[in-house]
Amino acid sequence: MQHRPLLALVLSTLIAEAGFLFVQNGASTPLVMDWKIMFFILIPLGLALLIWFQFRWASAICVFYATVGLAMDVATIVQTPAKDSEGIVSMVGSGISGLFYFCLIVFGGRSFLGVSQGPTPPESRPPSPPSLS
């Protein structure tokens, strides 16, 4: 199965999410920022690399991890307009993160369904017609 276009999409949304995370929090890296970098960038990147190396268990873990992350982003998007006056920044960040997690779910799911499928066997030849002799 060809994963390159989907992997490129996952990595591009990961880069966009990392860029937005750095823009939102500034150049300093306090302890909270280190935790966010590890949880939102390094763990999904590691899972994507394990999927690239065709570990079937990593595909299932990736789908579970990304589903929880997507649910948290959707909850943040729904809750932000009612709670925060500057909700646009938070909504954009959650939207980018949600798109990343959705791509990660698709990447992990496709990998899980197709990782152990080898080449199909050749079709059988039709039987020979009876000889006329």
Span 7-47, pLDDT tens digits: 677 777 777 777 776 776 665 656 556 676 777 777 887 88
What is the distance in angstroms between the CA of the first residue and the CA of the last residue of the chain? 49
Question: Taking the CA of residue 51 as centre, how many other CA atoms within 13 Å lie in the half-sphere pointing to its CB?
Answer: 30
Mean pLDDT of all residues belonging to the chain: 76
Q: Where are the domains of the chain?
A: 4-114
pLDDT at 5 over 80: no
Q: What is the pLDDT of residue 1?
A: 46
> What band does 108 get if pLDDT is binned at 50, 70 and 90?
confident
Note the helical H segments in the chain: 4-25, 31-37, 43-52, 56-83, 87-114
CA distance 65 to 47: 9
Question: Taking the CA of residue 47 as centre, how many other CA atoms within 13 Å lie in the half-sphere pointing to its CB?
Answer: 28
